[in-house]
Structure 1
């Protein structure tokens, strides 16, 4: 038996964005960047590890809005056009920098990256669901889900029907796309509200994740701290995030991503190069944007930046992977002296950290798996939560406390002066949706379509992303607009339903614009 285990968990999520009118949408660009810099590199890493028979394990949470966008033909086409522009820009950059050795090597690096990205995208016909399903079927990758639209459950769950709807849609959507139900669920923002575990259990979910204090302040206190799961009163396993390993990877100040040899995220040719040259690759309005081509390394804490050297950055990624390995080995050796079972280190991160925010993150991840596999004996084994529960089915019962992984550990990020106004509207709309679902146990025709669309509009309005954006102060107008837009759509539909005066053309327009969860059934909001 291994001396200890490490569970790497990546949470992949983006808000639902689908622009039917503009294939150069600023909001859709979030998705385009993440596919290029995070999701496809992650797929390629796992494929190489499978090819080389490296014994790795990783758990990936794919949120329902994200996988809905991956499976959408319009979003796929928009990404294809985005990637074509990127490939064209990279080719032009290779030519432009041909006489400047400081930047030419970096331009060639980007050209190779984008060409590899295009090959992977084309291999799966633009549908990355097929790629992730293939990885799932390899047995090395465990795919789990998240609440339907990443709703912040402790705040939107005033009515229990809302939490149930968020979970049921997520589980059904995951089963439809990946051919099997998820074993676990990533609570949005790791936000746990006691009692929600009973709903997870009702849908066959076996585990979820908490921030460390959610487990440390459980009742009774866990015997193994955060280094083994507990069973909630509903019998669902709660795994706690390890703080030490999180800080090493998350922190730009104290962690690996802040190393001066790594690529500087905030310096992009979209702002640096001549406007006429870069104009076809930024926004048609002329608004300068990140292109993804960044030629400088972090260098230091001042505004002065030196050219990026890929070889130096790759060496640092390999070195930092070795450091992470060493630290986990020492941590496990220490814990093992106090535990009568192998300690478990839970390392959960936002997937977008790897590649998008920390360009060398995918290299770090692959190097970590390869370095551990190359040691004999191995200092620890990688494991998924499902595998751990199979090996250790007996765990301490405890009730975790209400918590999140947001600033200060509770609700303040999603409930403060900038965003508190949304909840009275969400609760009011949810009450109406529940009433309609109970009033219409069976519906057909245009009524059925309107009820289903009302459910979609409410779910998207409940996304925690909008409140988060309002708090952080980035694209606030967009977040406010999306919240109001979906609530207004919801109330327009419900007025038509209540007056038996539905306009089929308007219902169809909303169905085409916001087509998330094509197989939704409004009865998810009915009282049980």
Structure 2
């Protein structure tokens, strides 16, 4: 590695499949709207400002194939513009409603002006395609976009079916190349889920590195002498970076992390839950659930006392302190490593993308302030994860096989396999097995049969998504998660039986293709056993 220690931040972007319901106010669609409005557009705006001020910045971003396709879906894009218009209309009413409460009226004006600005940015500057806007920054070398599995499946659970893992990867690579016109260097493991069986599979597809959670590397075989301060190489030659525990907790911890500070904006208190339902029609989903509007007036405050008003100036002052603390934390860890090992190290901070801006309102400003502060420091550099790995020559890295791990609860697989969701795995694994069988049985079919087999592959990939198990575990959108698993299994079963009887309803198939319209150019043969 060079003479400068390095920090690499990775932001993991993914949302579940939400296209099934054509209604623009389907509750799941607000996941996409909020990610776009509160995270992706302001993040691009931050990049624009940093570039305009000639502030160097580099980081890694993950866009799951599902997220890429849904961000580029014309119907969802149109629905998002309707959402922006509803935000603007609500802002006009809020400015009027709060006119006699100065501190609240100030915020209402702030949110109203921002909604207007974001509509212009999205439709004109970014031309309704934020993926292309991020790719521009990748081409400039400021952003590295990592690949991840097609439907964000928790891959360790599918190691008994390597064809399924390879199918997830091959669809992901095709989606990535279509979106970005290149081959990715890094592969982000969904939910940071690593199992040793993934080593040779990932390397066989040409990935140069991946990222595991802290304990996955520290409990590796053998235990790495450099800890998480340098990548290791696996027996197959894959470089592995590990998330730094201290950097993760500083930003992510719900109780001790920076977002928990009392003066930051409260995430849960939103007028969408508070004002009369008839005034919130655009923010009441089709199932009757109230959705967040982004018009929020209260600070975290803390404790059980009455919530205090949100004061942006106070939050900005705290943000400066938190960035300084984060920089000092980075410097302290790198300094300690240098003294103990007499060499320079790297730190990796990996977080879910929607933490910044959506969950933590000040999070995007935190990133911008961090890059501005880092530009003034000579104690470390910021870089993309691929460049960090490139600093270390393959032959000088320790050979270590990381242990089974994830960034889920307790660090293994129990978030995705417990009493709330274990029922889903027997049918999902069964249709996975049958899909491999179908790919072997019908290797060269065309026409309607090929179309049917391609849809069968889509149903299997959707059923494998880790989102459904997560939702069931956390008791969020439970009915939707259960519906998606059961409908994918049922759809596949109908297809499987119809292929046995050599008959399929074209009307039924066409409707299914419209509802589960992902990966339009999928080739079911990705499930064939590799020879």
Alignment TM-score, normalising by the size of structure 1: 0.97
1:514 pairs, out of 513, 516, 521, with: 516
Distance 1:355 1:361 in 2: 5
- For 2:228, the equivalent position in structure 1 comes to 226
C-alpha displacement at 1:99, in angstroms? 2.1
Q: 1:127 to 1:480 in 2, by over 3 A?
A: same
CA distance in structure 1 between the aligned counterparts of 2:63 and 2:3, rounded to whole angstroms: 29
Q: Is the 8 A contact 2:258 2:322 kept in 1?
A: yes
Task: Assess, with a 3 A threshold, how the Cα gap between structure 1 residues 116 and 318 changes in structure 2: closer, same or farther.
Answer: farther
Partner of 1:76: 77
Q: Counterpart of 2:65?
A: 64
Cα distance, 1:339 vs structure 2: 2.6
Question: Residues 426 and 284 (structure 1 numbering): CA distance in 2 closer, same or farther, change over 3 Å?
Answer: closer
Identify the residue that residue 29 of structure 1 maps to in structure 2: 30
1:255-310 C-alpha deviation (Å, 9 max, x unpaired) = 10001110011111012223333334423565433222111001122151011111
Question: How many angstroms apart in 2 are the aligned matches of 1:423 and 1:138?
Answer: 43
The residue number in structure 2 matching 1:326 is 328
Query: 2 CA distance for matches of 1:472 and 1:251?
Result: 17
Q: What is the distance in 2 between the residues matched to 1:275 and 1:63? A: 35
* 1:494 equivalent in alignment to 2:484: no
SS of the residue 1:185 aligns to: strand
Deviation for aligned residue 1:233: 1.4
Following superposition, the deviation at residue 382 of structure 1 comes to: 0.5
CA distance in 2, matches of 1:178, 1:231: 27
* Residues 135-185 of structure 1: per-residue CA shift (max 9 Å, x gap): 111110000111110101111332111111111111111011111111111
- Residue 491 of structure 1 deviates from its aligned partner by 1.3
Q: Which runs of 5+ in 1 are unaligned?
A: none
Q: Distance in 2 between matches of 1:67 and 1:285?
A: 26
- Does the CA contact (< 8 Å) of 1:210 and 1:239 recur in 2? yes
- The equivalent of 2:386 in structure 1 is 386
Indicate the residue corresponding to 2:49 in structure 1. Answer: 48
More displaced 10-residue stretch of structure 1: 454-463 or 121-130:
121-130
SS at match of 1:421: helix
* Map of 1:304 onto structure 2: 306
- Identify which range, 267-276 or 157-166, moves more after superposition: 267-276
Cα 1:225–1:284 shift into 2, 3 Å: closer
CA contact (8 A) 1:5 1:380 kept: yes
Question: Are the counterparts in 1 of residues 26 and 287 from structure 2 also a CA contact under 8 Å?
Answer: no
Partner SS for 1:66 = helix
Q: Distance in 2 between matches of 1:15 and 1:360?
A: 24
SS at match of 1:485: helix
- Which has the larger displacement, 512-521 or 460-469? 512-521
1:30-179 aligned at under 5 Å gives the runs: 30-122=31-123, 123-179=125-181
For residue 374 of structure 1, report the CA deviation from its aligned partner.
2.4
After the TM superposition, which of the residue ranges 355-364 and 193-202 deviates more from structure 2? 193-202
Contact 2:299/2:309 (8 A) holds in 1: yes
Deviates more, 1:311-320 or 1:425-434: 311-320
Q: Using the alignment, how far apart are the partners of 1:387 and 1:208 within structure 2?
A: 13
CA displacement 1:423-477 (0-9 Å, x = unmatched): 1111110111001111111121111111111111110110001001111112212
Q: Paired residue for 2:470?
A: 468
Within-5 A mapping of 1:188-203: 188-203=190-205
- SS of the aligned residue for 1:337 comes to helix
> Which secondary structure state, in structure 1, belongs to the residue aligned with residue 526 of structure 2?
helix
Residues 78 and 232 (structure 1 numbering): CA distance in 2 closer, same or farther, change over 3 Å? Answer: same
Report SS of the residue matched to 1:338: helix
Instruction: Specify the alignment match of 1:431 in structure 2.
Output: 433
* Matched residues, number: 526
Contact kept? 1:248, 1:255, Cα under 8 Å: yes
Conserved in 1, the CA contact under 8 Å of 2:163 and 2:529?
yes
Deviation at 1:383, TM superposition (A): 1.4
**Deviations 1:212-253, CA, capped at 9 Å, x for gaps:** 111001111111011111111111111111111111100121
Structure 1 residue 20 displacement after superposition = 4.5
> Is 2:404 the counterpart of 1:402?
yes
Equivalent-residue separation in structure 1 for 2:277 and 2:114 (angstroms): 25
| Cα distance change, pair 469–54 in 1 and its aligned pair in 2 (3 A) | same
Tell me how far apart the structure 1 counterparts of residues 423 and 501 of structure 2 sit (CA, whole Å).
28
The answer to whether the Cα contact below 8 Å between 1:282 and 1:291 also exists between their aligned partners in 2 is no
SS across alignment from 1:397: coil
CA distance in 1, matches of 2:232, 2:289: 51
Q: Distance in 2 between matches of 1:242 and 1:347?
A: 6
**Residues of 1 paired with 2:287 and 2:181: CA distance?**
43
1:3 positional shift: 3.7
Q: Please, which of 458, 466, 474 is the counterpart of residue 460 of structure 2?
A: 458
Q: Give, in whole Å, the separation in 1 of the partners of 2:310 and 2:119.
A: 24
Contact residue 37 and residue 118 of structure 2 kept, 8 A = yes
1:299·1:305 contact (CA, 8 Å) conserved in 2?
yes
Aligned-pair distance for 1:340? 4.4
Q: Does residue 442 of structure 1 match 2:455?
A: no
Give yes or no for contact 1:231–1:238 (8 Å, CA) kept in 2.
yes
